[in-house]
Amino acid sequence: MTDVFFSKSVIYIFEHNNDGAIGIIINKSLNDSKYKTLFKELSLNHPISVNNKKIFFGGPILIDKYILLHKPLKDVNPSIDVTNNISISSNKINLEKIIGANDVPYKVMMGHAGWRPGQLENEIKKGDWMMQSMTDDFVFNLQSNSMWEQAISSLDHNWANGANA
């Protein structure tokens, strides 16, 4: 995919149903110059990091709103448990609680990606996206600049060598 937002993106799809799909790009840091420029062009202020952790470009929809991807905590509400090991929230109080809990893995993303009904399925059929499962270890512990390469290398070797990527 050659789109500036989605080229070599690893997207965590957290909702996919008859109404469409919603996901978050998890491997593009806002420290990258193209995303800093994007925020400047949109006249948006954003911190480069939260608690010395990078902030990520989650996608081009609602780019001025953050989404917090984190390990589940009992006293973090409202949050959505996507799996037993990954939750999503967008509440400032939750952000403060999770940052304060030093042992809770998390990522902060600005914006998200979305597809209308049938759009993602059609893009997959065209070969725009490759789908595979991912672990919470991959989401929280793998260096963001190596996520795409690792995900692609786990597929057919032609993809890893750049064909159709």
Query: Residue 4: inside a domain, yes or no?
Result: no
pLDDT at 52: 58
CATH number of the domain encompassing residue 15: 3.40.1740.10
Domain that holds residue 91: 11-160
127-142 pLDDT tens trace: 889 888 888 999 999 9
Looking at the structure of the chain, the number of domains it has is: 1
Other CB atoms within 10 A of residue 120 CB: 22
Tell me the whole-structure pTM to 2 decimals. 0.81
> What's the Cα-to-Cα distance from 28 to each of 74, 84, 95, 135, rounded to whole Å?
29, 25, 20, 18
Residue 54's closest CA among 34, 26, 37, 29? 29
Asked whether residue 165 is assigned to any structural domain, the reply reads: no
> Phi first, then psi: what are they for 109, rounded to 5°?
-120, 140
Q: What is the pLDDT of residues 42-54, one digit of tens each?
A: 555 555 555 557 7
